[in-house]
A and B are shown apart, each in its own frame.
Chain A
Amino acid sequence: MPDESTQDTLVVQGVSKRFGSTLAVDDASFTVGRGELIGIAGHNGAGKSTILKVVNGTIAGDSGTVTIGGTPRSATDAVAHPEHLGVRTVYQELSLCASLRVDETAAIFDHAAKGLSWRSKAWRSLRAVLDEMFPGHGIRQDATIHELSIARRQMIECASSFIESTTPPRLVILDEPTSSLDASATASFYAYLEKRAADGVSVIITTHRLQEMIDHLSRIYVMRDGRVLSEQDAATATKDSIVAAMGLAAHESERPVPEAADGLPVSTIDAPPVTDGEVVVRLEQQSADGNTADFEIRKGEIIGFAGLEGHGQLLALEAVYRASARRSGGHRSPKRTTHHSVSVVGDSAYVSGDRGVRGIFPLWDVAANISFSSLGKLTAAGLIKPRSEGALVNEWYSRLGIKGSPTDPITSLSGGTQQKALMARAMAVGSDILLLEDPTRGVDQATKSEVYDLLRRQAAEGQTIVWYSTENEELRNCDRVFVFRVGTIVATLTGTEATEDAVIALSFGGQDAELLDGAGPLDAEESVR
């Protein structure tokens, strides 16, 4: 066995992974030296999470090799317990047990804590890391996880991945570790990482906070469409160079400096409605500092809700849905969220990007899935009229260009086609407003363009479309884009000016703050149940 101290901790060679029709990771190769802090950058869906899951063995790749600490394994092998190899991972969605106490949580990670005083031992080893990583964290040993804020849960999760345990950490993979941390916690977190790196622990970080990577890491790999496109030395990299490598601004004539909102390449951050139709949605905003502003959405507009994930877009979108009337043109009392009061004229239909959970009826055929929301107008004396139902389904089949037969089970379709069927269900209702929650998540490019065309056609027919997207590049298909930051709308851009750069610059504009909605799976669970 070669000398441990000079050997690379991780060597990834030619890893590919395909999900259905999507090539999530395409022939990716990179290395992480011993005691090196590296970053992987890329926009949503670039394949960052997938490649990391192949590295730690959570999912099996289709080809390639992963060499950890000099021991190669085929990327096609999944690993049941990567922590035995010294590989620890903190995922973006929190993986703590809500019902356990802090010391019990520590014990689950610290396999070395045994005996009668296992809780105190585990707590001591967790606190040793916590105190250094987040001085003044204020976490108590006997607190229950579900009582803690998201930020503190994230602190515990970050700290627990550095507990010595029986197999000390050798490679720690952190997926958006600082998304809920404030500036000072982030700074001390990176200081801790640098200290541990000096002891030989290697770290891979993915984050949307590009400046963080430049400031604290040694090298940054940039991914796009599943490929590792470039490798940049953090000492010479800039936000610009990384954004450029992501390929997002390649077609812009000149690239702006995305640092402050005033240096933006946009002509206005207060774009007026593009049509002069009637006002369909009205968002009255009261921000934390007491400023108020009104935002109007008019009939036939396509509005994008943009910003980093979890900054209030979903809350606002759901409020629009809750405030919608039951029938076309109707009224209902305004609905409040933390920062908005939403009033709506007309009815709305909602398409969720979370097909499996909120969307499809997996046991039904495609036709039943499409017609479900429209059954009200397809019935006579309470019974469904098969002929009208068939006509409706056929009409949408041809409009959307769905292949196959309406009687196929919905699960036989690809993910993208399922999504189209879901959109057909919502559009077939003919509601005044169509609300889309990340409708193109995990959908291939060809289908995406079809969806964009379809939306434009619907808008031309007078339907108002409000569209929450995590993929900034598709926002240019909107008439206007509302950029959210920490729960409030900070800018409204025209669709043509809603470039990735502009949106990112505006979403990063102020100081980093805690997330508002999408507050981690633990909270989501609590609020659902």
Chain B
Amino acid sequence: MTTTPPITRERSTAPTARERLSGLFGPWFLPSVAALIIFGIMVALRPLVASPTGLNLVLAPLIPLVFAVLAQMFVIAAGDIDLGIGSFIGLANVVIAVILPSNPAAGILFLVVMVAAYAAMGVLIAVRGLPSIVVTLGMSFVWLGIAILILPTPGGVVPEGIVSFVRFNPPVVPGVIIVLTIVTVVTALFLHRSKYGAVLRGSGSNAEGVRRAGWSVIRAKVSLYVLAAIFGLLSGLYLSGQTGGGDPYIAQSYVLLSIAGVIVGGGSFKGGEVSVVGAVAGGLVVGLIGSLLQFIGVQSSFQAAAQGLVLVLVLVLRALVNWIRKVRRTL
């Protein structure tokens, strides 16, 4: 436990230059730098990566992961954790590849019901106080089971419209950059600059406090889970368009990668402490590490371990930065 410094020793209203500087080092700073460094190394190894085509080739496979990280970010902002997001994305992929082509109305209805199911999960967790780990883990088997019922072995054909939408790539600015920018800006504006965004983050940080201030904590929880579901669907949409077919197991690895992305991106399991820019950067870090290791020819059997080591390194750095800031503050 730390002691509180007396008032007189605290700084006054006007921010000092150092404070302005340290304000720049928000939670999103470190992951963004990490993503840029990894990308820089890749460019140094293969200069072609920096070309529009190269950018598309390297970044496009990361878009579904970034959406999954954002989905996970909303749940972690609620102070929860979502172990079902991978199966959920897989089910979305299967629905888009199998049901949507044959019966568009039924397909869309199915996707809407999936979002509603996430909302119901939010209610269950908020009202009954069930641990989110248990609920989402249980639901992950439900999603996977339904997906396997619909499509026992990989197959199906994703509608042409979705494929061309996802692979849309204008000549000058690569499509992936456009998508990443729009998604990051819109989501960040909502979560960090809108009033309800503040309520949502607050509800994850101190639900009782937000409730006492006259807000519905249940509605906040449901909003966060619905947002998570929508981003899960977007992730499934991009996966479907990129692969062209359906596979229930396609996104299983996203569960842990998305959690890693949020945490690397400056988020914290405490709830309420997340950063959209950080999460996007965190998703890129997690994904790019994989590509980089392939580039430098690390054997695929070592890749997972190497990936993990780099993630641990980023987290150690972050702990170090936090520690330094804390020490400075208490000086």
B209 sits at the interface (CB 8 A): yes
Is the pair A150, B4 in contact by a Cβ cutoff of 8 Å? yes
Is the pair A95, B272 in contact by a Cβ cutoff of 8 Å? no
Tell me the dominant secondary structure on chain A's binding face.
Answer: loop
Q: How far is the CA of A118 from the CA of B195 in the complex (A)?
A: 7
A88 to chain B, nearest CB (A): 9
Is the pair B15, A140 in contact by a Cβ cutoff of 8 Å? yes
B56 to chain A, nearest CB (A): 35
Which of these binds chain A: B5-13, B98-106, B245-253? B5-13
Is the pair A99, B272 in contact by a Cβ cutoff of 8 Å? yes
Is the pair A138, B10 in contact by a Cβ cutoff of 8 Å? yes
Closest Cβ neighbor of A516 among chain B residues: B3
Is the pair A97, B205 in contact by a Cβ cutoff of 8 Å? yes
Is the pair B205, A523 in contact by a Cβ cutoff of 8 Å? no
Tell me which residues across on chain B come within 8 A of A118, comparing CB atoms.
Answer: 194-195
B199 sits at the interface (CB 8 A): yes
B202 sits at the interface (CB 8 A): yes
B5 to chain A, nearest CB (A): 6
Is the pair A113, B195 in contact by a Cβ cutoff of 8 Å? yes
Tell me which residues across on chain B come within 8 A of A99, comparing CB atoms.
Answer: 201-202, 204-205, 270-273
Closest Cβ neighbor of B27 among chain A residues: A99
| Known A140-B13, A152-B7: A97·B329 in contact at CB below 8 Å | no
Is the pair B195, A114 in contact by a Cβ cutoff of 8 Å? yes
Tell me which residues across on chain B come within 8 A of A180, comparing CB atoms.
Answer: 4
Q: How far is the CA of A109 from the CA of B206 in the complex (A)?
A: 13
Interface size class of B (residues with CB under 8 A): 35 or more
A155 to chain B, nearest CB (A): 9
Contacting B11 at CB < 8 Å: which of A105, A107, A138? Answer: A138
Q: How far is the CA of A94 from the CA of B2 in the complex (A)?
A: 17
A443 to chain B, nearest CB (A): 25
A338 sits at the interface (CB 8 A): yes
Is the pair A98, B2 in contact by a Cβ cutoff of 8 Å? no
B161 sits at the interface (CB 8 A): no
A514 sits at the interface (CB 8 A): yes
B residues 1-41 in Cβ contact with A at 8 Å: 1-7, 10-13, 15, 23
Count contacts between A and B, CB distance < 8 Å. 106
Q: How far is the CA of A251 from the CA of B208 in the complex (A)?
A: 42
| Known A100-B201, A108-B199, A315-B1: A81·B7 in contact at CB below 8 Å | no
| Known A97-B272, A519-B1, A519-B4: A104·B198 in contact at CB below 8 Å | yes
A89 sits at the interface (CB 8 A): yes
Is the pair B270, A147 in contact by a Cβ cutoff of 8 Å? no
B149 sits at the interface (CB 8 A): no
Interface size class of A (residues with CB under 8 A): 35 or more
A151 sits at the interface (CB 8 A): yes
Is the pair A149, B7 in contact by a Cβ cutoff of 8 Å? yes
Tell me which residues across on chain B come within 8 A of A94, comparing CB atoms.
Answer: 209
| Known A108-B215, A514-B4: A97·B201 in contact at CB below 8 Å | yes
Tell me which residues across on chain A come within 8 A of B213, comparing CB atoms.
Answer: 83, 108-109, 160
B210 sits at the interface (CB 8 A): yes
A84 sits at the interface (CB 8 A): yes
Which of A99, A140, A152, A529: most chain B Cβ within 10 A?
A99
B interface footprint on A68-87 (CB within 8 Å = 1, 0 otherwise): 00000000000001011000
Tell me which residues across on chain B come within 8 A of A182, comparing CB atoms.
Answer: 6-7
B33 to chain A, nearest CB (A): 21
Closest Cβ neighbor of B215 among chain A residues: A108
Contacting B198 at CB < 8 Å: which of A91, A108, A514, A522? Answer: A108
Tell me which residues across on chain B come within 8 A of A152, comparing CB atoms.
Answer: 7, 10
B214 sits at the interface (CB 8 A): yes
A interface footprint on B212-224 (CB within 8 Å = 1, 0 otherwise): 1111000000000
Q: How far is the CA of A100 from the CA of B203 in the complex (A)?
A: 10
A457 sits at the interface (CB 8 A): no
Tell me which residues across on chain A come within 8 A of B206, comparing CB atoms.
Answer: 95-98, 522
Q: How far is the CA of A108 from the CA of B329 in the complex (A)?
A: 26
- The 9 A-B pairs with the shortest beta carbon distances in the complex, nearest first, are A95-B209, A97-B205, A97-B202, A99-B272, A104-B198, A99-B205, A99-B273, A97-B206, A83-B214
A-B residue pairs in contact (CB < 8 Å), sample of 15: A83-B212, A84-B214, A95-B206, A96-B206, A98-B206, A98-B270, A99-B205, A150-B4, A182-B6, A315-B1, A514-B6, A516-B3, A519-B1, A519-B3, A524-B1
